[in-house]
Amino acid sequence: MKRLYWLLLILAVVAGVASLVLFGLPLAEHKGYVLIAFQGFRYESSLWAFVALVLVVWLLIYLLRLSVRLLVTSGGLLNPWSRLHSRRRVRLASEQGFLDLAEGRWARALRHLKQAASSAPQPLSYYLGAARAAHQLGHHSDSDDLLEQALNRQPQAELAIALQHAELQLARGQTDAALDTLQAMRSRHPHHHLVLRQLQQLYLQSGDWSALLGLLPDLRKEKALGNAELSELERQAWRGRLLQAAQPVDGDAQAALLVLQQVWQAMSTVQHQVPELLTVYAEQLRQLGAEAEAEELLRHFLKQHYDTALVRLYGLLHGRDLGKQLQAAEGWLKQHPQDAGLLLTLGRLCLHSQLWGKAKDYLESSLAFQRHPETCAELARLLGQQGELERSNSLYQEGLRLLDARLCTPVLPAAI
């Protein structure tokens, strides 16, 4: 790099000498003549004197402008209400305000951010921070007023202001107001990710499963959520919708059953294969008295997709043909001989069919693989009916301990 500088310097010297030789000597021989005459004014001099005069005038003008600029700057430094000091006050107030906001000093954050917003040309971030601080202080009306002022100062930031307003409304429990705000923004910005995400959170929080299911296509189309998150949200929404549909209105179980079946039919084939959703649907069918339908549905599914949770539920169902139901469960035992849940189900099905000996064998085999409170209770009930009261009571106590292990921790008083 130094070599380059030296090379450029040498070239400049050579160019200067060449210019002097080519132009300087002829000009020195011919000094030139300048004449300016206007009405009664007359000026005449050599060319070089005129050039020198122009340079002096230019230098004086430059120095005059520099002096004026220094006077203005010094005046700004001395004047506490100057633009320079105003910008400094905004900067200091905003820095302190955001620091207070981050550290939870809400009152100080509100004061500093309001001060910054009053003088800043672009006050949006200050108003939003001040509104959040006011919300944390419980001054909800002040918070809304600050957002209104932000909208008046920067109307082009309507979406950002509305998103924060909806967030604060939802935090206050004002679900309907937040929904109105977000739906208004969705009508104006139908593809905006944050609007869709906040609507999704609102529907999820309020348990509005139908609305959430209606929002899912837009969430998927706009890629507002990842595939895994969308799948989990869809599963959760359909689960909530099934539970909601099974709630009888005015005690009308038949109407609830019809709605539940319609919801199940509206689901896709892929969702019908999700064990959790199938478990919820079958359980709701059982509670609404449609056990035969639930039993048939689970039997067909378990032939292709074995699932322990569904097998346990299968044992609680009374199908149209108990013999066929027991035969199907015994067929699964060939592939899963050590499944404690399946053995419990077989024991229950034998109890339904009054096969007391087989029921006892299955239940004892289940306990050999897993000490489960439900198995203890079923076997205790059977032994109690058969007169084995001591072992029955022992199993009941074991079942209670398994339900709540904390019962085993304290030392109980001795029996009197």
Of the listed ranges 77-86, 185-194, 323-332, the least confidently predicted one is 77-86
CATH code for position 299 = 1.25.40.10
**Is residue 327 one of the residues assigned to a domain?**
yes
- How many residues comprise the chain? 416
**Is residue 364 one of the residues assigned to a domain?**
yes
CA angle 354, 360, 365 (to 5 degrees): 140
Q: In this model, does residue 74 exceed pLDDT 90?
A: no
**Is residue 313 one of the residues assigned to a domain?**
yes
60 or 231, which is more confident?
Answer: 231
pTM of this structure: 0.70
The number of angstroms, rounded, from the C-alpha of 218 to the middle of its chain's C-alpha atoms is 16
**Is residue 188 one of the residues assigned to a domain?**
no
* Number of domains comprising the chain: 1
**pLDDT tens track for 112-133:** 999 888 888 889 999 999 999 9
Q: Which helix (H) or strand (E) holds 36?
A: strand 34-38
**Is residue 335 one of the residues assigned to a domain?**
yes
Residue 413: per-residue pLDDT: 54
Rg (CA), the chain: 43
Handedness of CA 380, 386, 389, 390 (dihedral sign): negative
* Domain around 339: 290-405
- Helix/strand/coil for 324: helix
Q: Where are the alpha helices (DSSP H) in 103-208?
A: 106-119, 124-136, 140-153, 158-171, 175-188, 193-206
Intra-chain end-to-end CA distance of the chain, in Å: 102
Residue 76: per-residue pLDDT: 47
Q: Who contacts 295 (Cβ-Cβ below 8 Å, separation ≥6)?
A: 314, 317, 318, 319, 320, 325
| Token reading at 19 | 């210019």
**Is residue 23 one of the residues assigned to a domain?**
no
Name which of 153, 186, 148 is nearest 165 in CA terms.
148
**pLDDT tens track for 196-249:** 999 999 999 889 999 999 999 999 999 988 999 999 999 999 999 999 998 877
The pLDDT > 90 percentage for the chain reads 63
Name which of 144, 81, 146, 140 is nearest 111 in CA terms.
146
**pLDDT tens track for 351-408:** 999 999 999 999 999 999 999 999 999 999 999 999 999 999 999 999 899 887 655 5
The pLDDT > 70 percentage for the chain reads 83
Name which of 311, 352, 308 is nearest 328 in CA terms.
311
The mean pLDDT value of the chain amounts to 85
85: left (phi over 0), alpha (psi -120 to 50) or beta: alpha
**Is residue 324 one of the residues assigned to a domain?**
yes
**Is residue 357 one of the residues assigned to a domain?**
yes
